[in-house]
Chains A and B, each alone.
Chain A
């Protein structure tokens, strides 16, 4: 439950107090101080999550060919902008305002209401309204970023952005209301701390339906069914992007403690930071060892995907596992990536950056793994959450993709695809002084 009512937060705070003893060993800070610290946490952690947009932009820039680099950069910065606009327009209220169980309120134009705090009244666990909105908004952008990488190099710019509007305004907020808005899944006991399912799998499912409907890049699969790898243009950029995502993830998971107004909050947030880091480390090492064994060479791009998969895996429950358990949860994510990437190739699904293995497959694993570390979660409720949100996103995203396909069209022309979307859509090249020498053979 992400955006709990003030009452629920107070109840949760009492539970924490009850756990550490009726009288806490530390002196609680006063209401205004806690309010300031909670707000501070949302703002700083939210800014870290916003920076993940840069991570996705660099990761995807590195894994596409140089002729599509400028386009993928433009998609990344524009999808971030769109996510903010739609979340302001209807998204936030659809997700958090008066959630009836399956959906929030359709009242447009979110705006901050801080009347109580301005009057000097501070409820337990309080924070400024805009800090909460900001923190929730940057998560929407993350879900949309996942789609852009998978569908890179062959989707029309404006059709892609059209889907981003539908994803961020409708798909994401509605399913989000089921859990973080206090809807039916949260009442059932489904737990997704920072969004393995709500954010990463939602992006992953949308990427999967999109990749199937859009089709593979020209030349990725030969007529007789063989896979023709299309190596990325710039692996240093892909590595930088992964490091940036790793950094941003501390905000993604750490900020999802949703409070920093007490020592208990600070301890939990610290544990989340440590577990998040170690899960990513586990994912990298697992992917490295596995590719060395399977292919006799380490695959850098798999190690990068392994880091992301480790991070996604721990996102559903970064607070409860021990450090050792966090490493294992992340390592399983890394293993999943190494097997899921060639599996997608076998199915003729072209995912340019490995977004589906890292975000969808690892997201499902991480959500189910909550049952191992969180005593309140059961495998069954976790599975119900994964399946119901998965079904919802598959159906809705398929409808949206098909509508786009049969109205404005989603696939770039063959000529544009071969020339590169940078020249076709933007009329420029990302690296005009380097030419296409490396691609001449």
Chain B
């Protein structure tokens, strides 16, 4: 099992969700987060004075899937979240040891 975590542009969330649903992903968790990358945020002007936005708003999504689906999940997220502009985000893949569905007590692959 794999846990795919991706940080994406907020306005791409719906497209990413649709792409994941279409390849059979059953659920995901999304969190509003803030962060920065190589550009270190950006600057804005308020009343004539420049100021730095050090942390940009992003959405973090987490998807737990069977190992054989992980590669397609990564591809689907990369395709749906891509604008080609700075700040499209990153995808991280982790090995997932255990899963429990709380309601039924099912574990691992059965719980996904």
A-to-B contact residues, CB < 8 Å: 227-229, 231, 294-295, 297, 299, 301-302, 338, 341-342, 345, 354, 441
Contacts and interface: CB of A to CB of B under 8 A. Distances in A.
Q: Which 3 residue pairs are nearest across A and B when measured between Cβ atoms? A: A342-B48, A229-B46, A227-B49
Contacts of B47: 229, 299, 301-302, 341-342, 345, 354
Interface string B29-71: 0000010000000001111111100110000000000000000
Contacts of A342: 47-49
Interface of B: 34, 44-51, 54-55
B45 A297 contact: yes
Nearest to A345: B49
B49 A229 contact: yes
A341 B55 contact: no
B54 A228 contact: no
B37 to A, nearest CB: 16
A341 to B, nearest CB: 5
Contacts of A345: 47-49
A338 B48 contact: yes
Nearest to B51: A229
Contacts of A341: 47-48
Nearest to B53: A441
Given A441-B54, A441-B55, A301 B34 contact: no
A326 to B, nearest CB: 26
A229 B50 CA distance: 7
Given A294-B48, A441-B54, 5 more contacts: A229-B46, A229-B49, A231-B46, A299-B47, A338-B48
A5 to B, nearest CB: 46
Nearest to A305: B47
B30 to A, nearest CB: 18
Contacts of B50: 227
5 contacts: A229-B47, A229-B49, A295-B45, A345-B47, A441-B55
A294 B48 CA distance: 9
A297 B50 CA distance: 12
Nearest to A354: B47
Contacts of A338: 48
Contacts of B55: 441
A341 B47 CA distance: 7
A441 B50 CA distance: 18
Contacts of A354: 47
Contacts of A229: 46-47, 49, 51
Contacts of B45: 295, 297, 299
A441 B46 CA distance: 18
Contacts of B34: 441
A307 to B, nearest CB: 15
A341 B45 CA distance: 13
Nearest to A299: B47
Contact of B51 (A228, A297, A441): A228
B49 A301 contact: no
Interface centre among B34, B50, B54, B55, by most chain A C-beta atoms within 10 angstroms, is B50
Contacts of A297: 44-45
Nearest to A294: B48
A110 B54 CA distance: 58
Contacts of B44: 297
Contacts of A302: 47-48
A301 B46 contact: yes
A320 B55 CA distance: 53
B32 to A, nearest CB: 11
B70 to A, nearest CB: 32
B43 to A, nearest CB: 11
A441 B35 CA distance: 10
Contacts of A295: 45, 48
B55 to A, nearest CB: 5
Contacts of B49: 227-229, 342, 345
Contacts of B46: 229, 231, 299, 301
Contacts of A301: 46-47
